[in-house]
Amino acid sequence: MEYELMARSAIDVQFDDKDIYRLVNTLLKRIDNPQPLLKTVGRFIRKQTTKMFRGRRPDTGGVRGEKWPKLAESTIMQKAALKKRGKAIEIHRPLVRTGALRTSLAASSALKIMRKGLEYGTDVKSKKGFSYPGFHQVGDSRVPARRWLFLNKEELNQIAHSTKQFLEGKLVELTGKG
């Protein structure tokens, strides 16, 4: 089972004023290379996700105030049985016990900047070979979602601010007015 988490957006602008329309059209053509903005946004998302793992809730493992569902009793018993056999296992910390998810998300390979978009994520595999980041992000009928990849309102506002600055810079380049 594979999951692909993606966000896309588009801008549709319409004006009656031909001069404004021409200016906006030229501006949109000028930002044919949004990579500087994408790099800024991608690095910000990676930084915030890394911070998020450090700020986990100690009681449930949840992040940013979100309380993750508790582990099922059967999972706790299974992990406790492993612990009794001499393997050190922290029973109540889903997604953070081994550090593999956090480490893979901090790696430079987790962020891919493309011509007109970016991807951030990982395909870390469990010991049984399944991709667990996407699985836990959305959950299923047996395992509840434990979201680890999301941005709060303040972070989204910071991305919007960076985007605004980028577009304003392009507009200044285009018009020569600062």
pLDDT in tens, 22-75: 766 776 677 777 889 899 999 998 888 888 777 654 444 555 556 666 767 776
Residue 168's pLDDT is what?
A: 86
Name which of 31-40, 83-92, 147-156, 164-173 the model is least confident about: 83-92
Query: What tokens appear for 11 in the block?
Result: 């801008």
What's the mean pLDDT in 125-154? 80
Report which of residues 128 and 19 the model is more confident about. Answer: 128
What's the mean pLDDT in 153-163? 88
Name which of 62-76, 84-98, 123-137 the model is least confident about: 84-98
DSSP structure class, residue 120? E
What contacts 35, CB < 8 A, 6 or more positions away? 113, 115
| This prediction's pTM | 0.66
What's the mean pLDDT in 119-127? 84
What's the mean pLDDT in 90-119? 78
Residue 14, pLDDT > 60, answer: no
- DSSP labels, 26-92: HHHHHTT--HHHHHHHHHHHHHHHHHHHHT--TTT--STTPPPPPPPHHHHHHHHHHHHTT----TT
Taking alpha carbons only, the member of 38, 36, 72, 66 closest to residue 52 is: 66
Tell me the range of 22-36, 63-77, 86-100, 151-165 where mean pLDDT is highest.
151-165
Residue 82, pLDDT > 80, answer: no
Residue 91, pLDDT > 80, answer: no
Residue 11's pLDDT is what?
A: 44
User: Which contiguous run of DSSP H or E holds residue 111?
Assistant: strand 111-113
